Structure 1
Amino acid sequence: MIACLRLFSALCLAALLVACASSPSSSLGELPRTADASIEQLLEQAATSTTPEKAALLRLSAADLAYRQGNAGQSAQILQQVPMDQLKPGQQVFASTLAAELAMTRNQPKAALTALSHPSLQRLSELPVEQQVRTGTVHARALEADGQTLAAARERIFIAPLLSGDVASKNHEAIWALIASLPTDQLQPITTDDLGGWMSLAVAVKNAGTLEQQQAAIDNWRAQHPKHPAAIVLPLPLTQLKQMASQPLSKIGLLLPQDGPLASVAKALREGFMAAHYQAQQAGQKPPAIEFYDSSHLTSLDDFYRKAQADGVQLVIGPLEKPLVKQLSARPQLPITTLALNYSEGEQGPAQLFQFGLAAEDEAREVARRARADGLHRAAALVPKGEWGDRVLKAFRQDWEANGGTVIGIERVDQPVALAQQIADLFQLRQSEGRAKSLQSTVGSQVAAQPSRRQDIEFIFLAATPQQAQQIKPTLNFQYAGDVPVYATSHVYSASGDQNQYNDMNGIRFCETPWLLDANDPLRRQVTAQWPQAAGSLGRLYAMGVDAYRLAPRLGQLKALPDSSIDGQSGTLSMTSSQRIQRQLPWAQFINGQVQRLPDTPR
């Protein structure tokens, strides 16, 4: 009898649970559940459903199932058939969330944010935790993709208490990545909540210089915020900083060619590197020991790394040769952390590989950044014919157009004899002259008409040698375009001190390394006294050697703090997510044969 009663009670309880699961939950409405049926079966049930509400819910389930199965196109088609006005608020939240997720698969964060602005989202906190997490996660992703970094961090902090396990850990790391990427002027920890704590941690770490100072700042912050999530579980990049601080860099392997076509480049890099090393010694620091290796006779990278490990090397700087860098980039991992002094073609290499060089693409992006800061929108481009010119133009164009600018004319410069015609074509001068001749023919008498040029070009992006620039600027003047601003890469500047050469380039603005623009820098004065060639165009390589030395102990910091930078001699150095060092450069202008420094581009 007792057994029968227990069975009856269990059956009643099961029936009650089924009823609760299948009936609408108050005014919010029933949410779609993981479906046992296929997409086709759900759509068939929707087609034969007796009520519009049930049909809408079945289609919503089918759209969700298609999305979970990776068929975003089918999911979007089904979702379009679901009338939002026939859904209850909870179901509207579900549909809006799914619409946002589908928008993100198309890389359309603004469309995702529009979907998440539906009025029903005001009742999100009344829905099950799983739904709150799902909605909050896609909201954070959309905000981040839309450039709203702080709002994305705020959203992730909001859902953090609802998470557990690996999902919680990933969200925790994502919060730090977002907060750490914020510029310092946006880190204003005026509140004492979790967000304020995250911000004050980022400020403490960014304001500290050396690894030791950063570690002390982290320890002090944890002592002041013992219950903060980041104090309980320190973000992984900061844990890595702690490990680096406990293992100071004591030996560097410098891998450069001593023979071959790159020997002179390597010599300048090596001399700049060692100049920075000796300066550190003179300042009373304890710089790492340097072990030299010759890459020009390298037969096996594996043999080299075995030798370097046996020598106690903790960091390799080099190689310089592009084929060797390409080989390193293709490997799944490296036995020793390596700062290559060139770039591979692919974006991402092994975690132990960092890449640094004087990339012309950096300067093309710098031109785009500067012209934007100066309020310009429409560009024309003059670049050399060939692979180098194509690469530089591609970098400029991608950055310029991605930020709302337009490129309305391009000419690839080759033979000087064609230059006048190319510039005339760029500014449509021949069309203007043709109209004047046509008018003269019609009226049958002489017409006084000065050729006019197109007026929609706001500036010219120029990548050219000094010799080309000497011809291009006077030709622009001759072709009635002398008033159009010219923004150039450093390649126009020979650093020769030839005032006559600079007169021909009057008005051109160009980006350049701090090394060549600041003759009073103490290290530069010291180096040029010993190696006078470092004051000329080779100075860029000396500057890169100095910066390679200064980057060595800071790679982990730049990786851990995405928005941080180093004021180097080759530019202001920061790191991309693919562990490439990129440069932001200062600016100068040729004025009456002199090089005059311009105010820096706002960061």
Structure 2
Amino acid sequence: MRLKLVSLLIILSGLSACSTTEKPTKNSDSINSSANALQNQATSADAIYKLALNRTGADKIQLLYSARDAAISEQSWPLLENICNELEQTPSVDKIQNRLYIAYAQKQQNKNDQALVILQSLDGQLKQPEHFAWHQYLTASIYASQNFPKRAAPYFFRASETANKNSIEIPTLQQTLWNNLTKLSSYALERFNRGSVIQQGWVNLALYHQVYANSGVELDQAINNWRRRYPGHPATAILPEQDETLTDLAPVNIERLVVLIPQSGANQRLGDALKAGVLAALDNQNISETLFLDENLTTEELTAQFTELNPDFVIGPLLKANIDKLAQAKTLIDTPTLHLNTFDGERLSLQHYFFALNPEHEVQQALEHFLAKGYQKPMLLAPNNANGQRLIDYFNIQWQRYSETKPEVGFYNDNKDMPNTITNLLEVDKSKQRIKTVKSLFRQEVESETRSRSDIDAIYILGDAVETRLIKPYLDVNVSTFAQRIPLYASSKSHSKQIDRTDKGDLEGLYFTELPWMLNSQIKQHNLRNQYNTLWPENADISQRLFAMAYDSVSVLSDIRQLSIMPGNKFTGLSGKLSVNTSGHIERTLDWAQYKNRRIKAVQLETKQPVPLFMQSANEANSTQTFN
């Protein structure tokens, strides 16, 4: 009974993490102290609840939270439902999370029809992945408890996919999903053997257990094959641990490598840069044979080549259109592959990975630094084009997960538009108008100086190298001379080795993220850099970055399986510190540098994993609650 209660508390603590209540006000300490003092007078969930009903404002909310947790501990489901209904009347409470609690309380009372009505009413409102995962899990659990395993299965699959993709912890999800699959016939399982790679992994594992149920040796062999095909799959949690060799963590053995890059057409120059990086990296690898294919060949031609060559691993293609065409034909579905771009479709295999010089990685890194520094109001400047809009949208969406403030955003159409954009954002134009008004009131000369707004605490430039060099001086002259200097940041697009040869002065003080390969002081492979500079002294910045990316693509292959199974591990490469997320995409952490005294200096800037708003609220609430 004790073990069951502990498990229940673990489950519902995950649901509590979905809270998005408002942050406490400046008087939160006194409010929490008051709520705690009142709570100490009560010894049960019902007593705390009754105390809450006689209070108002933040005191009432804190007591209701405490009553809710106490009701869960006591497994008082009717009371939990009443408490949540009371909380629902409070404007600052997350309605979605609270209704999920009500549905859970009703499910525990066998009010399954009522619980399903609530869950169905939330369709279309589940914007946060945490809400969606728990919604799908609760719906599946209700159907499973009523012995409708086929109806429950799609909800379980979606819960598992969302939890896996977003690193959401639902402690009993995998085991409950597996128990549900064991109730399905092989015919029903075959009908579910489609969709995402997560869903197919679950179904194939269940089919193996049915087909080889009476043959332990064949079942072990089938499960080992399953592990190799689905490394890092969430179903691994329900498999017995392997004490001998951990096949999941074994390095990839590559005898024959095939590299797909553009070797014809408009992007051949990019292919040449990639090929140079691959060849440079092969000097340090134990790969017997490497073959280069033109990714612009037809699907039929490439399929025939792969059938004949039977590679152990494939790197490429580079172009999204060519990744799409091979995905549609399922040409590489059974071949471990590291694509050299992102992929928007459904991942076909857990042996497929995606590596791109994705600017969103840098935006995320800058955002995490801003939050670590406690910046409240960053200002973003970007070109008014598709790329600028995309990066600003990405920053805004991510920022809203961690902060209640909104960043200031400015788009410029061209070089001539930059001054107006900056003066409007900093409200210098309003200061000038005020000065003009004051001067009109006096005949004698009035000394004046424009003021810029004081709430902006960081500026992030998302322009290219030329644009950044034009923007920086405008910012220097439009920020009040008597105001604290606003720190300026930029992405790697602001840095050009070619332009920097003759012009660094205009960027004094600017911080920016960059590949270690592009910062000579940050790489250990000095001989490689010297050889590169000798062979290609005039190479464009994009060619240099693609060289580094291709070099890392080969170098990371032996570790890529371990990186995908053990999130948080990093590989140090020319293009940054690399890790693999649960969707198979390689994420990069770049180096920070600063323009200082007409030189580029490597710097260490504070960065840490930010706490989402719903977790901030949960942490603050938990810190004020006492449990019986």
Match of 1:512 in 2: 514
Q: TM-score, length-normalised on structure 2?
A: 0.59
Residue correspondence of structure 1 range 58-97 to structure 2 within 5 A: 91=109
Residue correspondence of structure 1 range 484-523 to structure 2 within 5 A: 484-496=486-498, 498=500, 501-519=503-521, 521-523=523-525
Bigger Cα Rg = 1
Match of 1:327 in 2: 325
Match of 2:573 in 1: 568
Match of 1:350 in 2: 348
Q: Which one of 601, 609, 625 corresponds to residue 596 of structure 1?
A: 601
Q: Percent identity?
A: 22
Contact 1:256 1:266 in 2 (8 A): yes
> How much has 1:599 moved relative to structure 2?
1.0
Contact 2:508 2:598 in 1 (8 A): yes
**1:328-352 deviation per Cα after TM superposition (whole angstroms, max 9, x unaligned):** 34456724232221224x2533225
CA distance in 1, matches of 2:166, 2:418: 45
Task: Report SS of the residue matched to 1:504.
Answer: helix
Farther-moved stretch of structure 1 (556-565 vs 426-435): 556-565
CA distance in 2, matches of 1:486, 1:347: 36
Match of 1:470 in 2: 469
CA distance in 1, matches of 2:498, 2:252: 44
CA distance in 2, matches of 1:163, 1:526: 51
> How much has 1:517 moved relative to structure 2?
2.1
**1:21-72 deviation per Cα after TM superposition (whole angstroms, max 9, x unaligned):** xxxxxxxxxxxxxxxxxxxxxxxxxxxxxxxxxxx99x99xx9xxxxxxxx9
Residue correspondence of structure 1 range 70-219 to structure 2 within 5 A: 91=109, 106-107=125-126, 152=169, 155-156=171-172, 164=179, 166=181
**1:537-595 deviation per Cα after TM superposition (whole angstroms, max 9, x unaligned):** 23322210111102323332233223332222111112233322221111011111111
Farther-moved stretch of structure 1 (95-104 vs 351-360): 95-104
Question: Cα–Cα, structure 1 residues 167 and 587, in superposed 2: closer, same or farther, change >3 Å?
Answer: farther
CA distance in 2, matches of 1:474, 1:347: 43
CA distance in 2, matches of 1:76, 1:511: 43
> How much has 1:277 moved relative to structure 2?
1.0
> How much has 1:164 moved relative to structure 2?
4.3
Question: Cα–Cα, structure 1 residues 453 and 319, in superposed 2: closer, same or farther, change >3 Å?
Answer: same
**1:164-204 deviation per Cα after TM superposition (whole angstroms, max 9, x unaligned):** 464799xxxxxxx9xxxxxxxxxxxxxxxxxxxxxxxxxxx
> How much has 1:97 moved relative to structure 2?
8.6
Question: Cα–Cα, structure 1 residues 458 and 163, in superposed 2: closer, same or farther, change >3 Å?
Answer: same
CA distance in 1, matches of 2:394, 2:449: 37
Q: Which one of 257, 261, 268 corresponds to residue 252 of structure 1?
A: 257
> How much has 1:248 moved relative to structure 2?
1.8
CA distance in 2, matches of 1:111, 1:94: 22
Match of 1:440 in 2: 439
Cα root mean square deviation, aligned: 4.8
> How much has 1:510 moved relative to structure 2?
0.4
Residue correspondence of structure 1 range 362-377 to structure 2 within 5 A: 362-377=361-376
Match of 2:17 in 1: none
**1:505-549 deviation per Cα after TM superposition (whole angstroms, max 9, x unaligned):** 011110001112244634352243244447872332221011110
Question: Cα–Cα, structure 1 residues 277 and 96, in superposed 2: closer, same or farther, change >3 Å?
Answer: farther
Q: Which one of 309, 312, 316 corresponds to residue 310 of structure 2?
A: 312
CA distance in 1, matches of 2:126, 2:454: 35
Contact 1:368 1:396 in 2 (8 A): yes
Higher RCO, 1 vs 2 (CA within 8 Å, ≥6 residues apart): 2
Match of 2:409 in 1: 410
CA distance in 2, matches of 1:480, 1:247: 54
CA distance in 2, matches of 1:389, 1:577: 27
Contact 1:316 1:337 in 2 (8 A): yes
> How much has 1:406 moved relative to structure 2?
3.9
Check if 1:341 corresponds to 2:357. Answer: no
> How much has 1:242 moved relative to structure 2?
0.9
> How much has 1:396 moved relative to structure 2?
2.2
Question: Cα–Cα, structure 1 residues 501 and 405, in superposed 2: closer, same or farther, change >3 Å?
Answer: farther
Q: TM-score, length-normalised on structure 1?
A: 0.61
**1:271-293 deviation per Cα after TM superposition (whole angstroms, max 9, x unaligned):** 1111111033xxxxx23421111
> How much has 1:94 moved relative to structure 2?
8.9
Match of 1:543 in 2: 548
CA distance in 2, matches of 1:470, 1:383: 13
Check if 1:293 corresponds to 2:293. Answer: yes
Give unmatched runs, 5+ long, in structure 2.
1-77, 86-94, 135-143, 147-154, 185-197, 199-227, 229-235, 610-628
Match of 2:557 in 1: 552
Letter of the structure 2 residue corresponding to residue 597 of structure 1? A
**1:288-307 deviation per Cα after TM superposition (whole angstroms, max 9, x unaligned):** 421111224x122x431331
Contact 1:378 1:405 in 2 (8 A): no
CA distance in 1, matches of 2:529, 2:501: 24
CA distance in 1, matches of 2:404, 2:292: 47
CA distance in 2, matches of 1:168, 1:508: 61
Question: Cα–Cα, structure 1 residues 164 and 319, in superposed 2: closer, same or farther, change >3 Å?
Answer: closer
Farther-moved stretch of structure 1 (504-513 vs 95-104): 95-104
Give unmatched runs, 5+ long, in structure 1.
1-55, 64-71, 116-128, 132-136, 170-176, 178-214, 216-228, 281-285
> How much has 1:103 moved relative to structure 2?
10
Letter of the structure 2 residue corresponding to residue 343 of structure 1? T
CA distance in 2, matches of 1:459, 1:95: 52
CA distance in 2, matches of 1:497, 1:246: 42
> How much has 1:377 moved relative to structure 2?
2.3
Letter of the structure 2 residue corresponding to residue 409 of structure 1? E
Letter of the structure 2 residue corresponding to residue 252 of structure 1? L
> How much has 1:481 moved relative to structure 2?
5.7
Match of 2:5 in 1: none
Contact 2:295 2:317 in 1 (8 A): yes
CA distance in 2, matches of 1:246, 1:76: 46
> How much has 1:149 moved relative to structure 2?
7.4
Contact 1:376 1:459 in 2 (8 A): yes
